[in-house]
Structure 1
Amino acid sequence: MRRDSLFYQLFAQLPQTLFDLLGIDTPEGYRFDSVELKQTAFRIDGVFVPPDPAGTVYFCEVQFQRDNTFYERFFAEIFLYLRLYRSTFADWQAVVIYPNRQTEQESFAPYDLLVHSPRLRRVYLNELGSPDSLPLSLALMQLTALSEAEMPRVARLLAERTHTEAVPRPEVIIELITTIVLYKFTELSREEVLRMLGFTTEELKRTRFYREVYAEAREEGLQEGRLAGRQEGRQEGREEGLQEGLQQGLQQGLQQGEAAVVLRQLRRRFGSVPSELEECIRHLSLNQIEALAEALLDFTHLEEVFAWLNRSA
């Protein structure tokens, strides 16, 4: 479930990733977005909009769980978009990203012709090759699909490549690597992740994640230090506030992101979601949201969601 937001960040920060997958030079002027088609509550994970109507619009979907109705929904979303925004493009191309072939649905009927046509490109991350030889953007994408045993080694490798290669925005790469690892190893502290990746404190300080959390945590630490009334107390309060703020910020961000993904899955499957149900889901703990995300795979009616929430309460 977390990978939706990870890939959104990856495409938003490094939009050339899609074109690296397709093996073509990155065209200029493309705008990446996640587009909701409100008439049917459909949402396409990624739409790369051309800068002028003579260009090609690219649809990108990340699919890490088997869904035997995926192509039915995906093509419905695409053709609805084509109808609504026909004046903004001249051609279209679709890309689906899987961790491996086993995740793809078993039967393509009645969409065999579209699935096997040049209109659709299916990408299997475990078949892209070795991360040390891939472009950094693709290696980052591959990193999201690795196991806990493999991830630390590959993450360190990618971090080292930001020092040895001509990377235009190394702080973006470092931020994405850190975010991916923190999503995978939620039980680790910031210091433990730093040691795992071999990042210096200065490198982490350049990431947006650190800056946003540090600003609030620093203020809390200073306030606590002032109340202590001694220089030693100020220093201790600052460091404890920073550590607590980072951990709280990470957990809150994970909880909010997971809740948003679960709500999107509910809208895809059942249409609109009652406001009281949405409010209840947004107040679940991270563990409860993850449990609900797993349970959703077996639900066929919205009433089952209400029943699940009542049992959990």
Structure 2
Amino acid sequence: MKTDSIFYRLFKTFPRIFFELIGQPNIDINTYQFVSVEIKQTAFRIDGVFIPVPNTNAETVYFTEVQFQPDTTFYRRLFSEIFLYLRQNETVNLWRAVVVYPTRRIETADTIPYQSLLSTPQVQRIYLDELGEAANNTFGLRIVQLIIEREETAVTSARELN
């Protein structure tokens, strides 16, 4: 997906954007490294994982998925990937999943098997078109907003970022 690679590059180059997006701007970004993780012996690939850097006090692993296309089995795949990762990485105790959608319309209705997870802070769903005023608070979030901006106005909006 084109948007996956855009977000991967954004999060890799400017990790602060991810933490601003999830409402945690005070996390020390130097305590994390951002990687794409392939789960062994399967075709699963997690879009991105913020893994605590060794010898820091960061503990939470953040799984990030960017979902810009409808996918009726999205949560089935996402939680399979996460739990397989946890099985293969027994030292991970604290984790959060962050799913970035352009809009609620993209989200699948197949949520019943995962309702207990989806209703907790452990899984955060972000809808870029609903960021509202928060999207104007930081340079990073304004860049993210460009991804869902209409083509006719995106160039003008990008020029106004200075």
| TM value normalised by structure 2 | 0.90
Larger radius of gyration: 1
Is 1:94 paired with 2:100? no
Following superposition of structure 1 onto structure 2, how do residues 236-247 of structure 1 map, counting pairs within 5 Å?
none
Shift of 1:15: 0.7
Identify the match of residue 129 of structure 2 among 120, 126, 150. Answer: 126
Following superposition of structure 1 onto structure 2, how do residues 98-177 of structure 1 map, counting pairs within 5 Å?
98-130=101-133, 133-158=136-161, 160=162
Structure 2 residue identity aligned to 1:26:
I
Partner of 1:15: 15
Is 1:26 paired with 2:6? no
Shift of 1:106: 1.7
Shift of 1:131: 7.9
Contact 1:131 1:142 in 2 (8 A): no
Aligned-residue identity in percent: 48
Give the length in aligned residue pairs.
158
> Separation in 2 of the partners of 1:157 and 1:151?
10
Task: Please list every run of 5 or more consecutive structure 2 residues that lacks an aligned counterpart in the other structure.
Answer: none
Contact 1:35 1:44 in 2 (8 A): yes
For residues 156-207 of structure 1, give each alpha carbon's deviation from its aligned partner in whole angstroms, at most 9, with x where no partner exists. Answer: 111x2xxxxxxxxxxxxxxxxxxxxxxxxxxxxxxxxxxxxxxxxxxxxxxx
> Separation in 2 of the partners of 1:12 and 1:64?
19
Partner of 2:39: 37
Is 1:71 paired with 2:72? no
Partner of 1:155: helix, strand, or coil? helix
Contact 2:63 2:82 in 1 (8 A): yes
For residues 109-167 of structure 1, give each alpha carbon's deviation from its aligned partner in whole angstroms, at most 9, with x where no partner exists. Answer: 21111111221000000111258723111111111111112212211111x2xxxxxxx
Structure 1 residue identity aligned to 2:82:
I
Shift of 1:54: 6.1
Greater percentage in helix: 1
Task: Please list every run of 5 or more consecutive structure 1 residues that lacks an aligned counterpart in the other structure.
Answer: 161-313
Greater percentage in strand: 2
Partner of 2:52: 50
| TM value normalised by structure 1 | 0.48
For residues 193-231 of structure 1, give each alpha carbon's deviation from its aligned partner in whole angstroms, at most 9, with x where no partner exists. Answer: xxxxxxxxxxxxxxxxxxxxxxxxxxxxxxxxxxxxxxx
Partner of 2:69: helix, strand, or coil? coil
1 or 2 for the larger relative contact order (CA 8 Å, sep ≥6)?
Answer: 2
Structure 2 residue identity aligned to 1:144:
I
Aligned CA RMSD, in angstroms, stands at 1.7
Contact 1:101 1:124 in 2 (8 A): yes
> Separation in 2 of the partners of 1:142 and 1:124?
11
